[in-house]
Structure 1
Amino acid sequence: MRQQHKTFRAIEVGDGGDGRWAAHARALWQGMEGLLTAEGRTPEGADRVRALFRAHMPELVPVLNRLTGQLDRPEAEAFLTHAALRPFSPACTQIGRDGILLRNYDFPPDQCEGTIVSSCFLRPVIGMQDLLWGLLDGMNDAGLAVSLTYGGRSVYGRGFAILIVVRYLLETCDTVDEAVGRLRTLPIAVPQNLTLVDPAKAVTVFVGPDMSPTMAPDACAANHQHLPVTDEQERDMRTRERLHAIRAAGADVAAMLKPPLYRSLDEQGTVTLYTACYQPVEGRVTYYWPGESWHQSFGDFTPGFRTVGWGRVG
């Protein structure tokens, strides 16, 4: 049995201006800069993505400037727009029900930042950060929670990585309806599924570079959208099986920690990295691993570290 470990950390960064975010980001920068596309490294490409960010996320421009200035790297601004990043495709499962957002995030451990961040860039937000200030999932002080899964289609277009979209929605929206409205104005680079929850509503929305935001049949998502799933895709990702399982289980943490929803470490190095259960009305989130959990909230956020491990036969 071979073991693989990952250390998750929880940090507070405030409004990003006091050096805490910058210290964390500088330590990660060397591993991040390779994710910038070739276009993003050119002056013309950097100008394009800056203009795209200013046009579509103007509220976050002061934050972008604040973070870029502290990171002090030549390509930092283009990177932090998340509009010139190589695509990624996590195989996740999520459900919104009864004011709860529950999700599994499946990805290779060494390719995930693994940082739980409490921030107040524009408002209080807690979430699982990736790529320096994007979010894989999170909640805000208005009681809105959002998480993502890959949409399962191999198309790519000009637009934003979904991580910054999750951040933007949580920073600027109070409700599901407001967030869905904002989604209609944003160009998205890769097909993704977003599940959104507030005190009154839970929905899943399919987005992508070749489609307008489309409501899913219910507030559940795995790794497909409106098109039929091929047999090959199902063998590789088991997306239909997982969607059927989560619909049957509902917002049940125990079910998320068992197959078929829980994914053990495989030959490709992918595993269920964490299970997150957001209760945004209460401002609470719990991250789960088999046999372990970590509670965080707006009222009691605790910085620290947790190291978890996964076994693999081989």
Structure 2
Amino acid sequence: MRCTFEAISEDLPGQRWQNIFRQFWPGYRQWYLRDGDRARPGFLMCRKALRHHMPELVPTWERLVELSGGGDLEARFLSMWGPPPYIAGCSQAVWLPVDGQQAAGATPALLRNYDFAPALLEGVWLASRWHGQRVVAVNDCLWGALDGINESGLAASLSFGGRKAVGNGFGIPLVLRYVLEFAQNVDQAVEMLARIPVHMSYTVSLLDRRAQWATVFVTPDRPLEVVRKQAVSNLQHGVEWTAHANATLAEAREQTLAVAVRQAEDAKAVLRALLRPPLFQTAYGRGHGTLYSAVYHPYDGSVEMVWPDAVWRQSCSHFLPGARMIEFDVESTALPHAVAPARRWMLDDVGSFQ
């Protein structure tokens, strides 16, 4: 299985975003309606939720709905209010230099592995300026974000929180998008996360240009918590979903990453750990293989997307469109590798995010 990662630059939603929508909407539509149309919130409820919790996003949402054809279903999906449940793996770390390392020029970094099914990945790396601030983020759900950085120097990423609880709220990718669009530092980001409801449990890692950082637990049924953990996987206060934790090696990943962060002399040492088992996962056929690693540098607003044999660098100030194709072996434990650029493939069937 091959996945194409494509870097796209478009300041305001237009033809390029519309092309993304047309490519991925058939699969997302199937997923969104998997439990039937009546299982999803109606248009008025979705619009009300956006207006109440993230009003600054409403004009962009309206523009995207227009670009998508103006349909009721498209508008409801793009609101990301009350989507079907979905889960993933993922590991995240905040690395902070100590005094001696700072003297040597080391700067803080936010690092992550994104673990998911290759067939369900958009693979769109979008540079935009929708609300005046440059944002570079990995797309999800057509305009949400899995991880990203803005030109103020705020980096953010997310991972599944390892709990089955589902409630009334937004899909986390849209909440992360909102944070990257409007927050300029960690304090502002935490305030936003505290007041916006989410429909499942997630851990959000934050790091800004001043080296302020936070690991935030957001859930649909508990108050927000800010914890001092620099390394996280898919656990919050411990294993709450044993089957998921065992399948994704959640405990082993978190312990391994914590040791790597504690012992690392620089961010590259943490990255090396992320590119090795148990942090680097190869269960692509079961939906939790590592699709990419990312390293965010808030000091200069740059980021690298990394695979075992390839590195792709971008920044808020210098973003170049392009494409990289990565091949995943879903039948074995072989690591993915970069292959020659080729035409982007279509998702015929996104299926179920389970």
Distance in 2 separating the partners of 1:213 and 1:220: 18
Q: Where do 1:160-239 residues align within 5 Å?
A: 160-199=170-209, 200-229=211-240, 232-239=243-250
What is residue 257 of structure 2 aligned with on the other side? 246
1:264 corresponds, among 282, 290, 297, to 282
Write the deviation string for residues 127-165 of structure 1: whole angstroms up to 9, x where unpaired.
110110000000111100110000000010110000001
Counterparts of residues 48-63 of structure 1 (less than 5 Å): 48-63=45-60
Pick one of 86, 89, 97 that aligns with 1:88.
86
Instruction: Give the Cα separation in 1 of the matches to 2:3 and 2:40.
Output: 36
Offset at residue 36 of structure 1 (A): 2.2
Question: Displacement, 1:39?
Answer: 7.6
Is 1:5 aligned to 2:8, yes or no? no
Where do 5+ consecutive residues of structure 2 fail to align? 97-107, 262-266, 334-354
Normalising by structure 1, report the TM-score: 0.93
Question: Over aligned residues, Cα RMSD in angstroms?
Answer: 1.9
Q: 1:278 to 1:46 in 2, by over 3 A?
A: same
Q: Distance in 1 between matches of 2:68 and 2:15?
A: 9
Give identity over the alignment, percent.
35
Amino acid at match of 1:212: P
Instruction: Give the match's secondary structure for 1:211.
Output: coil
Residues paired across the two proteins, number: 310
User: Given the superposition, is the C-alpha separation of residues 97 and 44 from structure 1 closer, same or farther in structure 2, using an over 3 Å criterion?
Assistant: closer
Q: In structure 2, what is the equivalent of residue 313 of structure 1?
A: 332
Tell me the equivalent position of 1:150. 160
Contact 2:234 2:245 in 1 (8 A): no
1:281–1:45 Cα change, 3 Å: same
Quote the Cα distance in structure 1 between the aligned partners of 2:31 and 2:314.
Answer: 30
Q: Distance in 1 between matches of 2:178 and 2:285?
A: 35
Map Cα deviations across residues 234-265 of structure 1 (whole Å, 9 max, x no partner): 42121111111111112411111100110013
> Which position in structure 2 is the counterpart of 1:119?
128
Check 1:40–1:276 CA distance in 2 against 1; reply closer, same or farther (3 A cut). farther
In structure 2, distance between residues paired with 1:40 and 1:139:
35
Q: What's the counterpart of residue 21 of structure 2?
A: 25
1-side partners of 2:9 and 2:191: how far apart? 30
Structure 1 residues 42-94: Cα deviation after superposition (integer angstroms, max 9, x where no partner): 89622111100110000111111111111115211111111132121110000
1:291 corresponding residue in structure 2: 309
Task: Give the conservation status (yes or no) of the 8 Å contact 1:94–1:221.
Answer: yes
Counterpart secondary structure, 1:14: coil
Higher strand share: 1
Larger deviation: 301-310 or 189-198? 301-310
- Cα separation, 1, equivalents of 2:284 and 2:63: 40
Q: Where in structure 1 are there 5+ consecutive unaligned residues?
A: none
Structure 2 equivalent of residue 255 of structure 1? 273
TM-score with structure 2 length normalisation? Answer: 0.83
- Distance, in Å, in 2 between the alignment partners of 1:153 and 1:79 is 23
Residues in 2 aligned to 1:28 and 1:77: alpha-carbon distance in whole angstroms: 15
The amino acid that maps onto 2:22 is R
Change (3 A) 1:43 1:131: closer
Q: Say if 1:258 and 1:36 are closer, same or farther in 2 by CA, change over 3 A.
A: same
| Pair 1:281 & 2:281 matched | no
Looking at structure 2, the residues matched to 72 and 39 of structure 1 have their Cα atoms a distance apart, in angstroms, of: 21
The Cα shift of 1:22 comes to 1.3
